Structure 1
Amino acid sequence: MSSVSLKDGRVLHVPGAPFILDAASVIMAPAAGDLAAIVPLIRDDQLLLFAKRLVDGARKRRFSERHRDVNRAKLELARMCIERALGEM
């Protein structure tokens, strides 16, 4: 699980608990719109660290069929964080 501090003081965990499982016990990923809404809430000094944690988490479970959708969502969220960090430079 990856976590990050948000601008309003809350902590975001990806994937959030409790996990939502489908009929085949695959962990369901958050919707793409939800991911895009998360990125502006992340503190600027945490963007790249959070992106690294997301990529590392996806790498560790890259062969797990159960984490397939969550890994895609983590990598997409990491991409959005990196784009935002580059846009602010």
Structure 2
Amino acid sequence: MSSVRLTDGRVLHLPGAPFVLNSHSIIMAPADAALAALVPLIPADDLLLFTGWLVTGARKRRRQPRYAEVNAARLRLARLCIDRALTDWPEVQA
């Protein structure tokens, strides 16, 4: 599980607990809009570290069909974090 403390003090866990399962016991991922809304809440100092955790988590479970949807969501969230880190680069370097 990947997690990061948000700027407002909450902790973001992906996938969130308790797991939401569909009828085939596949773990359902959060909606893209929910992921995009969380990216600005991640502290700039933690963006690249959190991105690494997301990619590592997806890599570890890449052959597990149960995690297929969550892995795709993790990689989309990682991409959003990288995009934000690139736009906020001076803030990330400080």
Distance 2:64 2:44 in 1: 31
Is residue 20 from structure 1 mapped to residue 26 from structure 2 by the alignment?
no
Match of 2:3 in 1: 3
The residue that corresponds to 1:45 in the other structure is: 45
What's the counterpart of residue 82 of structure 1?
A: 82
Alpha-carbon RMSD = 0.5
CA offsets, 1:33-64, max 9 Å, x none?
00100100001100000000000000000000
Query: What is the alpha-carbon distance in structure 2 between the residues aligned to residue 20 and residue 48 of structure 1?
Result: 27
The percent identity for this pair of structures is: 63
Paired amino acid for 2:11: V
Distance 2:11 2:52 in 1: 17
Structure with bigger gyration radius: 2
TM-score (norm 2): 0.93
**Scaled by the length of structure 1, what TM-score is found?**
0.98
Residue segments in structure 2 that go unaligned for 5+ positions in a row: 90-94
